[in-house]
Structure 1
Amino acid sequence: MIRLMTIILASASLAACSGGNEFAGGGDILTIHGEIGTTDRGAMQPGLEPLFNAYGIDFDSAHAMPFASLADMPQHTVRVAYPAGGETHSFSGPLLRDVMAGAMPEGTMLTITALDGYQRDIELSRIEDHDVILAIRMDGDALNIGGFGPAMIVWPRDTDEALAGMDDSDWIWGVFSIEVN
């Protein structure tokens, strides 16, 4: 009986928080840190933020972005084959340069970290020169943890001639941290 009640309560909690496949809890899904001019949260707390700790990410202050803030920004759509040569999908979210502008970056290099530990350095100028989006939806549905979520860097390689033939190396899915250096 106790096990059944636990399952019922857990299911009800998950259903209440699902919000149509979006992060209804309002927690931050992206943290921008490093050489930035705008901060709205304090230092990384190793005991409470084990993912940052596990990947050696440390900061004294940061700019945090919940799903709702990203969803409230002007949304852009990129229809593109992903992975390269795969099916075409419709990705939507704010332009990454607009997301970064909110943090007022003072450096020129971004270190983007994904949930699986994949890290990629990308020059900020590349983000500014192309309509790269921080996708939070694919084919209309929120990007989920366990899939490509909570956010994914998507390049318009099918419509931007300068990106033609681009491989998937800079297509980071599961993005949760961006450090500005």
Structure 2
Amino acid sequence: MKKTIAGLAAFLLLAACGPESRTVGDLPVITVFGEIEAEPTRAAMDPDVEPLFARYGLVFEAAAELSWPQLAALEQHRIDTDYPAGGPVRHFSGPLLRDVLGLVRPREEEIVVTALDGYQRSLARMTLDVHDVILAIRVDGDPIPLGGFGPAMIVWPRAQDQALTGMPDDDWVWGVFAIEVRAESTSPAP
């Protein structure tokens, strides 16, 4: 637990130490890597200064970084749903996850979403095309904070989509900071 907290603190400190031309609002919220066609906006992962990526085995030669303003500039969708399941109804908003992925033009069908605590879920892009899953950046009208569900959260429309009725919370990833696009694996989701 202490290592995870120390890793998170190091990640946040390093994220804040970017080039002087960047403002805090321009800092990356999500790093997308793997089989993408988008022009890279950052270099290879450096395990010496990016311990969280290293700890979770997120190694890449190049990636696309997406900032909060970039995510907020996409069409925003609202999902009113209980989270956790059976809990209070919250008002989540953000772009459709398929629109976020559209920014990086994925070449493969599987994405692996990683949270700050190391929780990972594998999702098929086809599922995202069928259901209006959002990458929430706001909850109850306010930006999702770190220490809460932030910086971003995968939210499913289980209250609006009958096919998702009774869905458990396993694929509701909060604290999302990385998305890997890769070929579909034959092993079950973590």
TM superposition shift of 1:128 = 1.4
Asked whether 1:29 is paired with 2:29, we answer yes
TM superposition shift of 1:149 = 0.1
SS, match of residue 177 in structure 1: strand
Q: Distance in 1 between matches of 2:25 and 2:132?
A: 29
SS, match of residue 98 in structure 1: helix
SS, match of residue 176 in structure 1: strand
Q: Distance in 2 between matches of 1:139 and 1:53?
A: 33
Amino acid paired to 1:93: G
What is the match of residue 124 of structure 1? 125
Q: Distance in 1 between matches of 2:138 and 2:115?
A: 16
**1:1-181 map, 5 Å:** 24-38=24-38, 39-181=40-182
Q: Distance in 2 between matches of 1:33 and 1:179?
A: 5
CA deviations on 1:93-134 (whole Å, 9 max, x unpaired) are 000000001111111111110000001111111111111000
Identify unmatched segments of 5+ residues in structure 1. 1-16, 18-22
CA deviations on 1:57-92 (whole Å, 9 max, x unpaired) are 100111110111111111110000110000001000
TM-score norm. by structure 1 comes to 0.85
Q: How many residues align?
A: 160
Q: Distance in 2 between matches of 1:50 and 1:143?
A: 23
TM superposition shift of 1:25 = 3.8
- Aligned Cα RMSD in Å? 1.4
Identify unmatched segments of 5+ residues in structure 2. 1-15, 17-22, 183-190
Q: Distance in 2 between matches of 1:59 and 1:102?
A: 18
Q: Distance in 2 between matches of 1:34 and 1:24?
A: 26
Amino acid paired to 1:34: G
Q: Distance in 2 between matches of 1:32 and 1:25?
A: 18
Amino acid paired to 2:181: V
Cα pair 2:25 2:67 within 8 Å, conserved: no
Q: Distance in 1 between matches of 2:143 and 2:134?
A: 14
TM-score norm. by structure 2 comes to 0.81
Cα pair 2:92 2:138 within 8 Å, conserved: yes
Write out the 4+ residue segments of structure 1 that deviate beyond 3 Å after TM superposition: none
Q: Distance in 2 between matches of 1:52 and 1:114?
A: 11
SS, match of residue 42 in structure 1: coil
SS, match of residue 69 in structure 2: helix
Cα pair 2:44 2:60 within 8 Å, conserved: yes
Q: Rg larger in 1 or in 2?
A: 1
TM superposition shift of 1:42 = 1.5
Give identity over the alignment, percent: 51
